[in-house]
Structure 1
Amino acid sequence: MPVHTHLTFADPFTAPRHMNISNTPRNSSTITGFILLGFPCSRHGQILLFLLFAGVYLLTLMGNGSIICAVRWDQRLHTPMYILLTNFSFLEISYVTSTVPNMLANLLSDNKVISFSGCFLQFYFFFSLGSTECFFLAIMAFDRYLAICRPLRYPTLMTARLCTNLVVSCWVLGFLWFLIPIIIVSQMSFCGSRIIDHFLCDPSPLLALTCKKAPVIGLVFSTLSPVPMVILFILIMVSYALVLRVVLKVPSAAGRRKAFSTCGSHLAVASLFYGSVLVMYGSPNPEHDAQTQKIVTLFYSVVTPLLNPVIYSLRNKDMKKALQKFIKL
């Protein structure tokens, strides 16, 4: 992406704190790219954060990877519900990988620099994968609606072909959603300090660094983010309202418990993800201080993918059995 700009510090005191400038010429130094401040603190604090986030990242990879392997190993779980779950787990692995490795590298780095192309690629993949997750949560709710509200017609409605088409559609729509805006932003000029007070390339601090303010672009981003999320979240809530109405009519307590257990896992994951994302981007003009942005972003981009396998394995008996069999291999 052709962005012909440079980041210049004419005075060491204009560089962000915690940057190593001991080997930098005092008169001028040129750094090409942006600077992600991340979590400014002492060197000891940076190492502790590195160990914490590295541990969370490894647990996320192991947890979601175990779900994928368990479902592929257990023939009984080769159903649309678990096929969607394996794709969702793979999506969670991709989602955390789009930001956490770079964040870990920055925690141990002195200059915190990310190249222009690296920043825009991270921006694109992070938000594309996030959009894909929104679509996946919606079709998983649709699958549960068909299974519980239309049980007799479910095998003929949710066929393998329809399941495949839904999965492909989620990935394609997710990666097309932010394609044009990121191309537009990548062609803009950036002035000033080029310092992003965040641990990733988020649109709000990124647009604040443009030489010429573009309210139209800001409006596009503030519209693209909340509108589909709100619509999909409403569809999920409507689906589960219909499911709840049907479940409450089930005469046996065991049947009701099984239905609640099946839907409860997905509803918990959806609520955690949508709840934190809507706090961040749900208003037309979201304005949050840097610390709030980092905390909320950490929750939906790092914590939620970690909780996904925990919630599904604890609340789903079939998944627990499959995981136990897989672990004993």
Structure 2
Amino acid sequence: MRKYAFALMALIGLYGCSSKVEKSNSKPHVVATTGMLYDAVINIAGDKVTSEAIMGPGVDPHLYKATQGDLAKFNKADMIVYNGILLEGKMSEILKKLGRKKLTVAAAESIPKELLKSAIGYKNAYDPHVWFDIKRWKYAVNEISDALIQLDSTNRQFYEANTRSYITQLDSLDQYVRNQIAEIPESQRILVTAHDAFTYFGDAYGMQVEGLQGISTVADFGLKDIADLIDLIIENNIKAIFVETSVSEKSINAVVTGCKEKGHDVKIGGYLYSDAMGEFGTEEGTYIGMFSKNVDAIVNALK
């Protein structure tokens, strides 16, 4: 890990010492690490900036390693947006170093510490999956908005109007989620997934969340973890569990098989978007669309 970080930091230095990448004379260039952040940027900034995401559909940010091409994008950017709270684990040092050279925003770190949940199994760390509580995520959206205004104050009123409009849409989404979850019988409001990406979701919307792995997919799990999860599913007569689009389904399939061997038929309730959204340009490739699809899948399988 240290060798990897040292090599990439050396590349950053080389890019910095080389001739500057030519900037557009008309629009600032913004680079976001994840799809959720990229979606916030384009909802706020519209066509006033050019923007791109480093990680696309199905990419696990916990495991992602920046490439030389990514570093070129970072160095070309006028502003970099990342989640922070160690979501981009293997890029964290690089992103902090870049922050000494240009406007860099750790959007989720704007959330008050008292609203962050401790990461079980990790000392002095917080769960980074904050986008699954819309009310918490709005802090990140506002942080991005403030940074865009700092970057391009000429378009302040445009950004402020778009931010207000987007926040209104997020409030409507929040109410939709609450209405949908209410359709699940209280005894069945248990969400079983591959890893603990949905803790904030459970906290916000009244669901017990059980993940086979911890908050990071780097965490290991063993036969006891599988056995404990099987027992929980059987004891609570859970009808469905869920695969994640950015995590291998092998572990969840092992749980399904174990339940069947004990006489309990649990089904795969669907694929949930956790650490990555769907294809850009589709409904699932937006934050609101991704969130809605997840909720619909959960409710349809558990109610």
TM-score w.r.t. the length of structure 1 is 0.24
Structure 1 or 2, whichever has the larger Rg, is: 1
The structure in which a higher percent of residues are helix is: 1
Bigger RCO of structures 1 and 2 (CA < 8 A, at least 6 apart): 1
TM-score w.r.t. the length of structure 2 is 0.25
The structure in which a higher percent of residues are strand is: 2
